[in-house]
Structure 1
Amino acid sequence: MLSLLLHLGIACLVIYQSLPSNKLIVPTLLMFIGGTIKYTARIRTLYLASFRMFRSSLLPSPNPGRNYAKIMEDRIALQEAHIQPLTASSPEARHHSHLAGAEGEKSLDDRTVIKVAYHYFKIFQGLLVDVIFSFDIRDNSMRFFSSRTAKDAFRVIEAELNFLYDLFYTKAAIVHCPSGYFYRAISVGCIVASFASFHVLNKHGFHDFDVQITYALLLGAVGLEFAILGIIFCSDWTIAKIGASEKHCRSLFQGSIFIEFLLKFKSESSPFALHILSARWSKSVSQYNLIDYRLKRWPKCLIPLKELFDDLKFGRVVPYDDKLGELIFNELKRKASIPLNLQSITEVCAARGKWALEHTKTGEVCEILLPAVRDVDYSESLLLWHIATELCYNIDTDTDTDTDTDNDGNISYHKEISKVFSDYMLYLMIKQPQMMSVVAGIGQIRFQDTCAEMDRFFDEKFFDKNKTNKNACQCLLSVPTEVKPANVKGDKSKSVLFDACILAKELEKFGKTKWVILSEVWVELLGYAAIHCRPYNHAQQLSKGGELVTLVWLLMVHLGLSEQFHIEGGTTHASVD
């Protein structure tokens, strides 16, 4: 606000000093009005986008609840009069969204995706400031998402996160409202009028170079305004607002035609689609592989430069595909299919591999592998399973051409997807520590101790020409591991290198089935990180292209796998016929 007042004061002073002989006073004042409106909108956007204001805007009206004292007094009076108090259901009756389960497994078109996403955005935006939701809201959301395909569920999630991004990082919140449209029209009108008034002005006495520069600046301002108008018209907000207004007006035909026209520029399947309008997140999954990282470590003399170039050298990404989302969705939906109450929700949210192992086909899997998730903290578990996955991946050649399938899908795909999840989760722990700060514990210490032990082992065993991932994994698995490392080394070092080798050898006993086990465990580890990451950190990632873990977080909430559902209305009040 101080900056706005300072700039306004300086501009007013300059205009005042140019009077009374200023031939450009009309275009100057028009541009001044348009600029003031835009600057004010920017200040207001920054003010409203702060978490403090956002939280305040979502606070409900004070609710003291029913008059408990009066209800109990009436109840006692009825009992003394020997009249049986009647019970009635809460006036806060359960309501079911018209969106929930409305179309079964029917695929959603782009218009419906935006409409549904906007509906849930208006309800669940309070997630970012820890608003607690009712079980009615949970049930409605669960019904809708459980009846969708994985692809459609993620399309809705992507659009919903896009609304959240616009809320915090663009002017959408103040542009897409009646006053926003009014002031935008005035701003555009002033800038266009400023250009027109300068164009018709008698320019006698002005230098040609100055005139050309002024034309260039004015044309740039007009072009920028119309480009912004195009983005506003083609935004999800415009489509959602028109869709919402169709309920209250008779111009359904015209509104529908306009929406269909806009979707031609947004739908990924449309030949007219513009990537800048249709893309809602990066659709990439970053990777960070520990063994590869240590085999290609920098020489000691260049270690001071290591941190500077680490992100560039190891910034490997793989594209997100629908099969990846399908596996995540099916696993989360399997969890959501169990009867959910406060206790079961807490247990499911606390599971970090235990639930997946306990719900495998055989009890043997659970008995052998359960200690690797139950008896260790999250960061240790993540490192254990990451190294074990890499070891199994590099020594396994049987599934490369495998065509056999089981009920969970193609084994070779489970192998590839397990590695993607493994490298992604380590990337989150090492490169995005703010997202894992709640669950990582002493993860950084474990990581550096494991790196140190790995470096020592590789330096003793390999020359540079032999340093391949496959050779490294074979050499690690050749080490005898009959005795637990902690019994030999003590617990001063937090390295988990050879504990992971033990886990990999146990996994190898299950043959091809190990890849199904690994993929399910990794989905659960991903879900645990997603639901325990602070909502504020999820919101921050939206400005950087988004992360898969953020999509998983919101999907888990929509499937009821969150502890932010606690509200139940009272069910009893006294009444007399």
Structure 2
Amino acid sequence: MECAEASLPETHDFVFRGLLLTEDRFERAFRIVEVELGFCHDYFFTKYHVIRKKQIFMFVMMLVRIILVLLVGAFVLTDSLTIETPAAVIEVHPRRADTVITLLILGTIILVEVLQAAFYLASDWLKVSLACKYVRNLDLQSREFIVKLIRAYSRFTIFRYWTNRIGQCSVISECQSFAIHLRYILDPIKNPFERTYRLTIGKKRASVCLTSAVKIAVARSLKESDGHLTNGEATLKKNHVFGLFCWALEVGSQIEIILVWHIATEYCQLTECNENSTYQTFHEVSEKVCHPEIAITLSRYCVYLIDSVSELLTGYVDSELAIARVMKEVREAIGSLSIDAKCQFFKDLQVREEEDTIFRKGVKLGKQLESLNDSALRWKVMAEFWVEKIIYIAPSDNAKGHMERLNKGGEFLTHIWALLSHAGILKINRDNVRTTNLRSQPLQEDV
């Protein structure tokens, strides 16, 4: 995907000096992106943009169709559709059931027409149309009740593509179902019916509400970066722990880095949940900053993207074997264990200086994070890392993939991708240790 305005400084300033100028505008920026993507959804998957051009004609035709259907219904009720001949070869005696079925079909047609009109009347397209007419008509501008009417109407909606929910997946708690579509790599399934069941009905899906805390954290991190995205490096340096955890940024592809940090996050969450008193005190201290919520939510969302929306992630195909191995190792190690047994397994697991598997690297990172005496700092590092990571993996040239996801409820990653696109960040070079913003010269992207 290319954009002629991507290299202009005005494009960068539109987001960083406009939409994200102050912190009280952060949520508003995501609402603007939501409306924008809503128009994209309607343009690609509905006919609202066609109706808007000929609104009066379309509604007149709708009324004509409804009137014709009502006339047919009236004839059915009065038995006026029955044709009598002097000498009928075959006598047909209409039954009551025939009349009922015909009326049900006619009623369904009317219901569909009314619903289509109602959905359009509650859509953003009609709201924009009314606003344009208000601006162009000086007589309407002088009437205050028209302004109040438009404001009240703009808050009314029936259907939105975006449900404000994000998918969740955990390698630790859902190890039996995670990456089930890759099981054929290590454990081939010969039965086609069993394979179909596991890939569709047998696949678990969970989601949580996307909170304001997560949106604000993402916007704040993007604002602080000023468009210079890094692979978690900025977070570690800002919190003065780069020397301790820099190795975890160089464990392979972006997919493998996500899995390592996800396992570490799940490890910390699991061990702290098991220690009730410590976990409760920690949450009382960190209630305002919501670092655990942000870290766990975004961690599981990134794994959900790997598991269910892999087409939006660059370099996923190259990591399929690594993901399948992680799935198998976790399933064999803790697949059937209870929460307490999992905690005990992690505590007893001895990690070496040089670990060779993603699972063990994740446990090693989790133990290193656990060694930080300050629990607030530990979760602050993880929360800011995941916020930085979700922004880092968002730039992509797969615009088609993002648009196709709109018809399935949309993804939060698409909202971040759209926001970055407005800033001119269309693609980043993830090969370099020190990543650069490619607003002016897009490079070949290879994770």
Give TM-score, length-normalised by structure 2: 0.77
Contact 1:356 1:521 in 2 (8 A): yes
Worse overlay, 383-392 or 441-450: 441-450
Tell me, in whole angstroms, the C-alpha distance in 2 between the residues paired with 1:231 and 1:422: 36
The alpha-carbon deviation at position 292 of structure 1 amounts to: 1.9
Matched, 1:247 2:138: no
Tell me, in whole angstroms, the C-alpha distance in 2 between the residues paired with 1:551 and 1:451: 29
One of 166, 171, 184 as aligned partner of 2:58:
184
Tell me, in whole angstroms, the C-alpha distance in 1 between the residues paired with 2:45 and 2:176: 40
Partner of 1:357: 236
The alpha-carbon deviation at position 222 of structure 1 amounts to: 3.1
Tell me, in whole angstroms, the C-alpha distance in 2 between the residues paired with 1:196 and 1:208: 21
Kindly provide the CA deviation profile for residues 485-509 of structure 1, in whole angstroms up to 9, marking residues without a partner as x: 24xxxxxxxx311112221122123
Contact 2:2 2:426 in 1 (8 A): no
Amino acid at match of 1:234: A
The alpha-carbon deviation at position 382 of structure 1 amounts to: 0.9
Superposed counterparts of 1:31-42, under 5 Å: none
State the SS of the aligned residue for 1:260: helix
State the SS of the aligned residue for 2:166: strand
Contact 1:357 1:517 in 2 (8 A): yes
Partner of 1:259: 150
Partner of 1:328: 218
Tell me, in whole angstroms, the C-alpha distance in 2 between the residues paired with 1:383 and 1:196: 61
State the SS of the aligned residue for 1:132: coil
One of 355, 366, 371 as aligned partner of 1:509:
371
The alpha-carbon deviation at position 165 of structure 1 amounts to: 0.5
Partner of 1:416: 293
Superposed counterparts of 1:379-390, under 5 Å: 379-390=255-266
Give TM-score, length-normalised by structure 1: 0.61
The alpha-carbon deviation at position 369 of structure 1 amounts to: 1.1
One of 382, 385, 388 as aligned partner of 1:521:
385
Tell me, in whole angstroms, the C-alpha distance in 2 between the residues paired with 1:156 and 1:480: 49
The alpha-carbon deviation at position 295 of structure 1 amounts to: 6.3
State the SS of the aligned residue for 1:317: strand
Superposed counterparts of 1:482-501, under 5 Å: 482-486=352-356, 495-501=357-363
Partner of 2:175: 294
Tell me, in whole angstroms, the C-alpha distance in 1 between the residues paired with 2:3 and 2:48: 22
State the SS of the aligned residue for 2:395: helix
State the structure with more CA Rg: 1
Partner of 1:171: 47
Partner of 2:3: 131
Partner of 2:432: none
Distance 1:157 1:224, change over 3 A: same
The alpha-carbon deviation at position 152 of structure 1 amounts to: 2.0
Kindly provide the CA deviation profile for residues 273-326 of structure 1, in whole angstroms up to 9, marking residues without a partner as x: xxx33x44122221111122336899x999963762466553122222222212
State the SS of the aligned residue for 2:136: coil
Amino acid at match of 1:538: H
Amino acid at match of 2:338: T
Superposed counterparts of 1:37-52, under 5 Å: none
Partner of 1:315: 205
Distance 1:405 1:330, change over 3 A: farther
Tell me, in whole angstroms, the C-alpha distance in 1 between the residues paired with 2:3 and 2:252: 32
Matched, 1:282 2:177: no
Kindly provide the CA deviation profile for residues 399-430 of structure 1, in whole angstroms up to 9, marking residues without a partner as x: 33325657xx746x312321221111111112
Amino acid at match of 2:419: L
Tell me, in whole angstroms, the C-alpha distance in 1 between the residues paired with 2:333 and 2:394: 34
Contact 1:132 1:565 in 2 (8 A): no
Contact 1:145 1:558 in 2 (8 A): no
- Cα RMSD for the two superposed structures: 3.2
Tell me, in whole angstroms, the C-alpha distance in 2 between the residues paired with 1:477 and 1:303: 38
Amino acid at match of 2:316: A
Tell me, in whole angstroms, the C-alpha distance in 1 between the residues paired with 2:416 and 2:36: 13
Amino acid at match of 2:136: H
Distance 1:205 1:245, change over 3 A: closer
Tell me, in whole angstroms, the C-alpha distance in 2 between the residues paired with 1:507 and 1:559: 34
Distance 1:527 1:212, change over 3 A: same
Tell me, in whole angstroms, the C-alpha distance in 1 between the residues paired with 2:175 and 2:111: 51
Tell me, in whole angstroms, the C-alpha distance in 2 between the residues paired with 1:219 and 1:189: 14
Partner of 1:476: 346
Distance 1:419 1:188, change over 3 A: same
Amino acid at match of 2:350: P
The alpha-carbon deviation at position 189 of structure 1 amounts to: 3.6
Tell me, in whole angstroms, the C-alpha distance in 2 between the residues paired with 1:285 and 1:196: 44
Contact 2:20 2:219 in 1 (8 A): no
Tell me, in whole angstroms, the C-alpha distance in 2 between the residues paired with 1:286 and 1:540: 17
The alpha-carbon deviation at position 457 of structure 1 amounts to: 3.7
Q: How many residues align?
A: 394
Distance 1:388 1:204, change over 3 A: closer
Partner of 2:405: 541
Tell me, in whole angstroms, the C-alpha distance in 2 between the residues paired with 1:433 and 1:321: 24
The alpha-carbon deviation at position 212 of structure 1 amounts to: 5.6
Amino acid at match of 1:429: I
One of 69, 77, 80 as aligned partner of 1:195:
69
The alpha-carbon deviation at position 524 of structure 1 amounts to: 1.8
Amino acid at match of 1:325: K
Contact 1:450 1:497 in 2 (8 A): yes
Contact 2:73 2:106 in 1 (8 A): no
Contact 2:20 2:26 in 1 (8 A): no
Contact 2:11 2:422 in 1 (8 A): no
Matched, 1:221 2:109: yes
Amino acid at match of 2:307: I
Contact 2:239 2:381 in 1 (8 A): no
Partner of 2:445: none
The alpha-carbon deviation at position 386 of structure 1 amounts to: 0.9
Contact 1:135 1:566 in 2 (8 A): no
Tell me, in whole angstroms, the C-alpha distance in 1 between the residues paired with 2:32 and 2:301: 23
Amino acid at match of 2:16: M
Tell me, in whole angstroms, the C-alpha distance in 2 between the residues paired with 1:156 and 1:428: 23
Distance 1:532 1:514, change over 3 A: farther
Contact 1:132 1:566 in 2 (8 A): no
Superposed counterparts of 1:440-479, under 5 Å: 440-458=316-334, 467-479=337-349
Give percent identity, aligned residues only: 20
Tell me, in whole angstroms, the C-alpha distance in 2 between the residues paired with 1:565 and 1:244: 34
Distance 1:248 1:369, change over 3 A: same
Distance 1:308 1:218, change over 3 A: closer
The alpha-carbon deviation at position 540 of structure 1 amounts to: 0.9
Worse overlay, 194-203 or 309-318: 194-203
Contact 2:15 2:423 in 1 (8 A): yes
The alpha-carbon deviation at position 235 of structure 1 amounts to: 0.9
The alpha-carbon deviation at position 390 of structure 1 amounts to: 1.0
Distance 1:205 1:258, change over 3 A: same
Tell me, in whole angstroms, the C-alpha distance in 2 between the residues paired with 1:421 and 1:236: 30
Amino acid at match of 1:554: A
The alpha-carbon deviation at position 333 of structure 1 amounts to: 1.8
Contact 1:388 1:500 in 2 (8 A): yes
Partner of 2:36: 160
Tell me, in whole angstroms, the C-alpha distance in 1 between the residues paired with 2:28 and 2:205: 29
